[in-house]
Structure 1
Amino acid sequence: MKLYIKNMVCDRCKMAVSDVFERLNLKTKAVTLGEVELEEKALGDEQYQSVKQTLESLGFELLEDKRKMLVAQIKGAVVGLVHYTKEPLKVNLSDFLANKLNTDYSSLSSVFSAEEKNTIEHYYIQQKIERVKELLSYGELTLSEIAFQLNYSSVAHLSAQFKKETGLTPSQFKQDLKRKTLDKV
């Protein structure tokens, strides 16, 4: 059985969610961004409500609506791609998502836009900018290295996109260092 969880966007979130299922004596097969696969085929009403309430107490939301589940899967795939994948994307984003989620991209795009009032592409850009902010705050990589790591065509392209999204240049940001949590993007 698979459950889809909103606001599960980082490795710490995965650990917290895993802990919830462990405390409730529910065995998991896999815990990935936005998704938990249980060994059980179904949960009883009481178990389901316990899971739901415990997750909500930690700031997560157990999704029941299929469209919201699909949006959570899209977000999980994008966050995983931007924040946790070292290899550059070898295909375009639309092909990556269509293959990963086994759904044609036009359907993914339509559902995402209707539910989020944002496009997948813009969400992807927002995630990339948050990753740039994170890497800038560490101070270990140059802007050129960050641009290369995040598959930007040039430093100028990264800087222009950064300025458009934040209103600041990367240099100005480094002086201020304000970041959002991934679930707020």
Structure 2
Amino acid sequence: MKLFIKYMVSNRCKMVVKEILKELNLPFILVDFGEVEIMEDISLEQREFLKKELLESGLELMDDKKSILIEKIKTIIIQMIHHTQEDIKINFSDYLSEKLHHNYNYLANLFSDAQGTTIEHYIIYNKIERVKELMIYGELTITEIAYKMNYSSVAHLSSQFKKVTGLSPSHFKQLKDKRRNQIEEIAYDTGKKN
């Protein structure tokens, strides 16, 4: 039996769900982002307990097929952008259609109606969050980040970054570096007094 869980987008969430399932003595086959497959049907009582436990952990058991589909769209996007080490070299519309077995126009309209934003904006927002994360780590140049995140150019990345954050990538990096310098100065000043 498959169950679908809203907001289950991290490894920590998967661990929490596994613990809840163990507590309920529900043997599971799979616990993945947004989805659980258990070996047997669950009683109404078990379902209510599961629902309650998930809510206490910030997660939500879903029943509505459209809500489940929207959550699957989000989970696939988050997984591809935030939880893969590979460079993103896919066409999201084709990928979503293929993974979810629905026409992309149907998925896009469903998502927009329910979320008040387009799939494209959701992807852009998540890509920019990932770009910020990669910039903070400081291991890649902006050119390498643009390539990794499948931007056609650094200019394209910079344009989207500025639209979403209000800052250019270089200004964002300067703010991050300035903050780091201030922390280093505090550590230096503290060390000087001793």
Indicate the SS of the match to 2:36. strand
Q: Given the alignment of the two structures, is residue 118 of structure 1 paired with residue 117 of structure 2, yes or no?
A: yes
Gaps of 5+ in 2: 178-194
Partners of 1:59 and 1:2 in 2: CA distance: 20
- Equivalent pairs: percent with the same residue? 51
The 5 Å alignment of 1:53-68 reads: 53-68=52-67
Q: Given the alignment of the two structures, is residue 83 of structure 1 paired with residue 86 of structure 2, yes or no?
A: no
Partners of 1:59 and 1:176 in 2: CA distance: 31
Gaps of 5+ in 1: 178-185
Q: Which has the higher contact order (CA 8 A, sep 6+)?
A: 1
Check whether the contact 2:54–2:60 (CA below 8 A) recurs between aligned residues: yes
- What letter is aligned with 2:5? I
- Residue 176 of structure 1: CA displacement? 5.0
- Residue 159 of structure 1: CA displacement? 1.0
Partners of 2:88 and 2:141 in 1: CA distance: 21
Partners of 1:58 and 1:153 in 2: CA distance: 40
TM-score by length of 1: 0.89
Deviation sequence 1:50-99 (CA, Å, 0-9, x none): 11010100111111111110001101111111112233455421110010
- Residue 171 of structure 1: CA displacement? 2.6
Which residue of structure 2 aligns with residue 127 of structure 1?
A: 126
RMSD: 1.6
Larger radius of gyration: 2
The 5 Å alignment of 1:30-45 reads: 30-40=30-40, 42-45=41-44
Greater share of helix: 2
Partners of 2:15 and 2:144 in 1: CA distance: 30
Partners of 1:58 and 1:120 in 2: CA distance: 27
Check whether the contact 2:136–2:176 (CA below 8 A) recurs between aligned residues: no
Check whether the contact 2:7–2:59 (CA below 8 A) recurs between aligned residues: yes
Which residue of structure 1 aligns with residue 11 of structure 2?
A: 11
- What letter is aligned with 2:8? M
How many residue pairs get aligned? The number is: 176
Check whether the contact 2:17–2:54 (CA below 8 A) recurs between aligned residues: yes
Partners of 1:9 and 1:43 in 2: CA distance: 23
